Amino acid sequence: MTKKFIAFTLSILLFTTTGLIAQGVDSFKVYSKFDFIPGEKLIFFEDFSVEAIGDFPARWNTNGSGEIITTNKAPGRWLQIKTDGYYIPETRGGFPENFTVEFDWIPAGKDEDAESSDMELGFYLVSGTMSDPNEGGAVPGVAGNKINFTKNTTYFASYADGEYKVEGNADFELNKNRPYRISVWVQKQRLRIYINETKLIDAPRAMPAGFTYNILRFEVGSASAPMIANLRLAAGLPDLRNKLLTEGKLVSYGIYFDVASDKLKPLSYGTLKEIAQVLSENPGLKIRIVGHTDSDGDDAFNLDLSKRRALSVRNELSKSFGIDVSRIETDGKGETQPFGPNDNPSNKAINRRVEFIRL
């Protein structure tokens, strides 16, 4: 995807890394600078779990083609984009000033021998009209930000009033057919972009002011056939300190585990670091960690899993941040205390949570 670059001075954090992190006991150390904290109020979630293999997802709009698949590259179900065009989840309604977007992405292409053009993925944050996705042409909507991931570099370009406003880029080397976690954090005009544990971009004026953003848009080049999964859009800027100290209860969706496992994912680091800081600054504070699951699977297994997950969180707070385990109780409720019915992917995502309760 070509861009017209405009000279503009901005402060931007640039980091370089290659490939995925090594999984294992040292994984959390790699994430020691990871400060991403996902929004707490879920707006949209999609893991394609209710879609039939081979179908295009019902809650998405496109002028191209794609289908739900499984792959030996990673667990779960994935939307594989087959042709160029736009691919838009029907999120319905405007986003708040502060929000986060996360999704898993496997770069892949139609030509197995290609190593460059087939790694491209375009991701847009748009202020526009859902019923007219092509409004604005190459710069859709009335304003937005175009983020373009390529084999070696991630670019962004904001636009409004018919012209580009702020642009920048950061180096990051991708590997074909390997999964990556993309995290995007918007705080009013500030834009942060992460791949795995690496913060690539932190631009304080990257989002044009005065617009309500309401569309997430994926685009690909003609050689690309990327796979996308586990899309999560949520209202951002959770006040972990206030909720734990003042309200006495923090419900967190920033604690991630492997599927049906109590193994913590390093992506939990940003949230755990904030909680550990509150505990460190308040040495008299004691908490109870409570795990919750959705209703998928056996009741007894889910109860045991939720207890083991709470214990894993306690152990990581002790191991990585030096919090005394005598200050932390743990428990698990399994699927017995849902926030809502376990009848769709979004409600199940709300029910899967970790709670921190002040004692």
Give me the CATH number covering residue 307: 3.30.1330.60
Let me know if residue 13 belongs to a domain: no
Structure-token pair, residue 132: 């007219």
pLDDT reported for residue 257: 92
**Domain range holding 249?**
240-358
Are both 176 and 254 inside the same structural domain? no
Domain-terminating residue out of 183, 213, 235: 235
Q: What is the pLDDT of residues 47-91, one digit of tens each?
A: 999 999 999 999 999 999 999 999 999 999 999 999 989 999 999
Please give the Cα distance from 347 to 359 (Å, whole number).
28
Is 147:3 a contact under the CB 8 Å cutoff? Answer: no
If you average pLDDT over every residue of the chain, what do you get? 89
Confidence class for position 7, pLDDT limits 50, 70, 90: very low
Q: Is residue 2 part of a domain?
A: no
* 285 plus 218 within the same structural domain: no
End-of-domain residue from the set 185, 216, 235: 235
Any idea which residue has 């390997």 for tokens? 178
Residue 7 domain flag: no
Its pTM stands at 0.88
The predicted-structure confidence for 140-186, as pLDDT tens digits, reads as follows 999 999 999 999 999 999 999 889 999 999 999 999 889 999 999 99
Q: Would residue 64 count as lying in a domain? A: yes
**pLDDT exceeds 80 at position 349:** yes
Domain identity same for 68 and 168: yes
In a domain, 19, yes or no: no
Q: Is the pLDDT of residue 98 over 50?
A: yes
Q: How confident is the model at residue 27 (pLDDT cuts 50, 70, 90)?
A: low
Average pLDDT of the residues in 211-235: 93
Q: What is the pLDDT of residue 114?
A: 59
Same domain, 140 and 88: yes
Task: Reply yes or no on whether the pLDDT at 232 is more than 50.
Answer: yes
Residues 103 and 173 in one domain: yes
Average pLDDT for residues 350-354, to the nearest whole number?
95
Domain count, the chain: 2
The domain that contains 135 carries what CATH number? Answer: 2.60.120.560
Residues 72, 169, single domain; the answer is: yes
Asked, for residue 20, whether it belongs to a domain, the answer is: no
Higher pLDDT, 8 or 199: 199
**Same domain as 183, residue 324:** no
